[in-house]
Structure 1
Amino acid sequence: MSNDTTLVLGATGKTGRRVAARLRLHGTQVRAASRSSRTRFDWSDPGSWDAVLQDVTAAYVVPPPVPGPVHEFVARAEAAGVQRLVLLSGRSADTWGDSTFGLDMRSAEDAVCGSALEWTVLRPSNFNQNFDEDLFHAPLVAGELTLPAGAVPETFIDVEDVADVAAAVLTETGRHAGRIYELTGPRALTFGEAVGLISRASGLPIAYKQVSPAEYTAALVEEGWGEDDAHHVAEMFVLLERRTSAETTDGVATVLGRAPRTFEDYAVRAAAAGAWRR
């Protein structure tokens, strides 16, 4: 077992908790940090950062939802003697142009890639688990998912694959230095097709309905979202719809030596766990 400590930020979140578990199983000493964990880390409270970084060799970084703070975090990580950073970003972040979506991720990439540390950037597509752990879950349970997404497919990826990749990169010193991995599932699906697979796997009648970004934003605001947050989510779909196709990548296979999990596999596992039970 290594005496080196790996810091996992967002350790109670979708990827962080999975990465931390994998690292522990590997024999890595983990410092799991978030706003609600025993080791507290808050992006809005820089006073909490230095203690978290003490004696850390590598860090898994899930950026905050605003641009800027990762630059200061990286500077403090360098000063604390951290050697490696693995950043979670978004698929094809360098092609988002003037979109207001993802300014936080692009700022974080600039900070990490511009550092003197050994770094790796992970750019996954939308997670399969968004359908059972996040924004899409409640509408699916209610019987209809309504989104501003049409015929342009998305290369959904299983978050278990993202966690496998992150854990491998964090434990394989040197092999992934300076690499940016675009991570996708094995094939692209429209949101309507994904909902159809979930409906079949769960045995429940679940429909998909396309609406405009403006209608979607208004619906989120009606549900209690702030105007800015609702617009930010809707802007992600505007960005997705700008594409004419969605190509898969070999990122998962390059790191893990195997193909990524299929959406069907995810749907079966989630349905068996009762994810969409009413």
Structure 2
Amino acid sequence: MGKILITGATGNVGRYTAEYLLGAGEEVKAASKSKDKVTKLFGNAAEYCEFDFQRPETFDGALKETDRVFLMRPPQMGNPEELYPFLDAVKKKGDIRLVVFLSLQGAEKNPMPPHHKIEKYMIHTSLPYCFMRPGFFMQNLSGVHAFEIKYFDRIVVPAGKSLTGFIDARDIGDISGMVLSRPEGHEEKAYEITGPEAIDYYKAAEILSQELGRKITYTEVSPGKALYYWTHIRGLDEEYSKVMNMLYRLTRMGMAKTVTDDFEKITGRKARSFQEFARENRESW
């Protein structure tokens, strides 16, 4: 078999997907703008290839000798049509056996997130797809939202009292890697990936308090105030903040509370719990 191209190889899910595949003995091409980041993460185990969705001249080199692709939309890329030229290049190559697209829970029935149009385009162009539709990443709390927890002992997100079926990005990477290493039977499939339970952010704060040994509280804010805070106070990328804000609006509507067993069916084990995640990532806060 050919090599496997991992886009977003230095990100949360791409990194874990690559690690799984390298452990399974697969040849991995780690696509990134930064060779230093790839080398720091994987050493010489993965082959670095320069790649940028907005630079079509990087496509041929990235796709050379590959027959499977892990596709991740860059978080700051709010316009789904910016991915289409790369998807066209994948289709044109002609021998790609499977493209695993990191989509979003509920993307098939909600036209608001960019993932919806990307899925539709992949189906329309007859690419051999497999859609991974995860719930909210646990790593959101150890990543973009860690700042408020670490310095102010608060979770600050516009989720209201809604429930979320949090999933560990490592588990998404594991199942994506497993599907890519054995693609037969996963073509034209979609897997909704969640953790073992749905909890609200009050419960998440309670678990963090137990694990960190200090009181963490959940501070409810409106989506509008959250967007202003992220862009004007935190200085986060505006497009990234808008997409994140939209996802929290969907969460408030109850679209993140579903819990599925797709992960266990494919991998044969249970997904990690939020308690396990908090225990293993104490240093983040």
Structure 2 length normalisation: TM-score? 0.88
Q: Matched residue of 2:155: which SS? A: strand
Structure 2 residue aligned with 1:265: 276
Structure 2 residue aligned with 1:130: 140
Residue 36 to residue 245, structure 1, CA distance change in 2 (3 Å): closer
Distance 2:80 2:53 in 1: 11
Structure 2 residue aligned with 1:238: 249
Distance 2:256 2:98 in 1: 34
Structure 2 residue aligned with 1:208: 218
Q: Matched residue of 1:61: which SS? A: strand
Matched, 1:191 2:204: no
Structure 1 residue aligned with 2:104: 90
Return the letter of the residue paired with 2:280: R
Residue 174 to residue 214, structure 1, CA distance change in 2 (3 Å): same
From 169, 172, 177, give the equivalent of 2:187.
Answer: 177
From 97, 118, 125, give the equivalent of 1:115.
Answer: 125
From 13, 16, 38, give the equivalent of 2:11.
Answer: 13
Q: Matched residue of 1:10: which SS? A: coil
Deviation at 1:229, TM superposition (A): 4.2
Residue 5 to residue 195, structure 1, CA distance change in 2 (3 Å): same
Report the number of matched residues.
267
Structure 2 residue aligned with 1:70: 83
Distance 1:7 1:185 in 2: 26
Distance 2:255 2:22 in 1: 41
Q: Matched residue of 1:15: which SS? A: helix
Matched, 1:153 2:166: no
Structure 1 length normalisation: TM-score? 0.90
Instruction: Name stretches of at least 5 consecutive residues in structure 1 with no aligned partner.
Output: none
Residue 21 to residue 225, structure 1, CA distance change in 2 (3 Å): closer
Deviation at 1:244, TM superposition (A): 7.4
Distance 1:228 1:8 in 2: 23
Return the letter of the residue paired with 2:200: T
Q: Matched residue of 1:31: which SS? A: strand
Answer with 106-115 or 22-31: which moved more. Answer: 106-115
Instruction: Name stretches of at least 5 consecutive residues in structure 2 with no aligned partner.
Output: 36-47
Aligned 8 A contact 2:162 2:257 in 1: yes
**Which structure 2 residues correspond to residues 44-55 of structure 1 after superposition, within 5 A?**
44-55=54-65
Distance 1:239 1:57 in 2: 35
